[in-house]
């Protein structure tokens, strides 16, 4: 069994490339989760949004009884249905999902400057909100972790079509693991159905991708599955910044005020 010994100053190591190849050779999600737990030393963190993908990964982690650090970003603006899914999942799997909140002072400054719905005035304002509520709390939570597990899939959007099973994340200084990177939506839905995995009731109401309540709507027939996220924007590959970052994280300097 290969042991991944992370060299913190190296952008990527041969062992990460081997890890990527080895995960792809395993057929089941349970086998992949078990392998990840054995092959990687140190803290393995799993950030969940309670979406379909993350619920599948959570199920496999619970099934294999692997000790992963499981947490969720509490943006303060989740749908009630999302919080119900959180409670149902904790009861089903007997595992608490740690809630990580943004810095209260930064959140108050953001609202004081841009307003409660200021994120709709510009893309920069929206990204500033995501940085405060998601990106910085994620970075603080992942500090010191060896690996970060996510539910990213290549077919989720055009911007994710090159997602690998394992790669070096230079911004977070850890190995990023995507155990269902190669799964189709059909395979994901079949896995959820076969294992009676609890899912957010909003999915049945036209919400394939669920984020903060003010920033998410149901999609129309034929729309991309992420069309309901930040629907007032017209750019392609819309992301909040958790999975599409520059080589270093945003600084603590506050972005300039925006106007309508």
Residues 22-32 pLDDT 10s: 999 999 999 99
Domains along the sequence of the chain with CATH: 14-102+140-205 (3.40.50.620)
Residues with a catalytic annotation lie at: 240
- What number is the average pLDDT over the span 9-33? 83
Residue 125 near residue 27, CB atoms below 8 Å: no
- What number is the average pLDDT over the span 15-36? 96
Predicted confidence band of residue 244 (pLDDT cuts 50, 70, 90): low
The answer to whether 260 is annotated as binding is: no
The answer to whether 215 is annotated as binding is: yes
- What number is the average pLDDT over the span 234-252? 49
Of residues 130 and 254, more confidently modeled: 130
pLDDT of residue 157: 62
Predicted confidence band of residue 84 (pLDDT cuts 50, 70, 90): very high
124-170 tens-digit pLDDT? 999 999 999 999 999 999 999 999 999 999 887 666 677 999 999 99
pLDDT of residue 69: 96
């Amino acid at each position: 069994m290969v042991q991944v010994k992370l060299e913190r100053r190296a952008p990527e190591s041969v062992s990460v490339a081997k890890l990527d190849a080895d995960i792809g050779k395993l057929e089941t999600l349970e086998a992949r989760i078990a392998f990840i737990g054995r092959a990687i030393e140190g803290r393995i963190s799993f950030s969940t949004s309670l979406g379909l993908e993350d619920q599948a990964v959570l199920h496999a982690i619970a099934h294999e009884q692997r000790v992963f650090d499981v947490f969720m970003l509490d943006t303060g603006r989740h749908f009630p249905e999302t919080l119900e899914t959180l409670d149902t999942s904790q009861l089903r799997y007997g595992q608490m999902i740690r809630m990580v909140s943004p810095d209260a002072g930064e959140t108050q400054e953001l609202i004081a400057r841009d307003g409660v719905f200021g994120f709709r005035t510009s893309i920069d304002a929206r990204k500033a909100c995501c940085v405060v509520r998601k990106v910085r709390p994620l970075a603080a939570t992942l500090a010191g972790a060896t690996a970060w597990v996510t539910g990213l899939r290549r077919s989720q959007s055009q911007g994710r079509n090159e997602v690998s099973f394992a790669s070096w994340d230079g911004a977070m200084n850890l190995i990023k693991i995507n155990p269902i990177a190669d799964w189709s939506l059909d395979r994901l839905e079949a896995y959820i159905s076969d294992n009676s995995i609890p899912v957010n009731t909003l999915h049945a109401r036209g919400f394939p991708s669920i984020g903060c309540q003010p920033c998410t709507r149901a999609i129309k027939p034929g729309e991309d599955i992420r069309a309901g996220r930040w629907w007032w924007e017209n750019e392609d590959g819309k992301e909040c910044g958790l999975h599409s970052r520059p080589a270093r994280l945003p600084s603590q300097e506050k972005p300039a005020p925006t106007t309508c």
